[in-house]
Amino acid sequence: MEEARSAFEVGAIVKAEVRSGLYVGEVMELHGPRALFKVLAVLKHPQQGDLHHPYEPDVPLFHERPALAYTEKTMIPLRQLQTFSGHVPDYRESLHAALAAEVATLDRLKRWSEQGLALLEQLGKQYK
């Protein structure tokens, strides 16, 4: 644990996964095994739906997960922090890029499902 703590200092720019999203941010404070993390950019938009039942649309509560806001602060276990090197992207631009990437991923999955269903329907006719 001490090794993880020493790897990150207050003011360090890091990336962290928070509620299925991936963010670049700054370590604001260290509190034992946790750090106060301030969001600066979005690398991956959070997934929608029930994370315990992925790709299941018929769940009692289909969760909406907005991305964390610019400069929003949240406590994160140190083990979830990763080093980040490079330029910190603009928050708004990174948010739109992450959203577009998530939409594209779901669109590919939708098209794959549609093609798979069409082929299965054809096979069903052949099996009669």
Average pLDDT score, the chain: 94
Dump pLDDT digits (tens) for 62-98.
999 999 999 999 999 999 999 999 999 999 999 999 9
pLDDT of residue 96: 99
* Residue 35: pLDDT over 80: yes
- Which among 81, 88, 73, 70 has a CA at the least distance from the CA of 36? 73
Domains of the chain: total? 1
* Residue 128: pLDDT over 90: no
- Which among 71, 5, 68 has a CA at the least distance from the CA of 35? 5
Position 3 confidence tier, pLDDT thresholds 50, 70, 90: very low
Distance (Å, rounded) from C-alpha 107 to C-alpha 88?
28
Residue 46 belongs to domain spanning: 2-126
pLDDT of residue 49: 92
CATH number of the CATH domain containing 46: 2.30.30.430
* Residue 8: pLDDT over 50: yes
End-to-end CA, the chain = 62
In percent, how much of the chain has pLDDT > 70? 95
> Helix-strand-coil percent breakdown of the chain, rounded to 5?
35, 30, 35
Q: Which residues have a Cβ under 8 Å from the Cβ of 123 and sit 6 or more positions away?
A: none
Average pLDDT over residues 114-123: 97
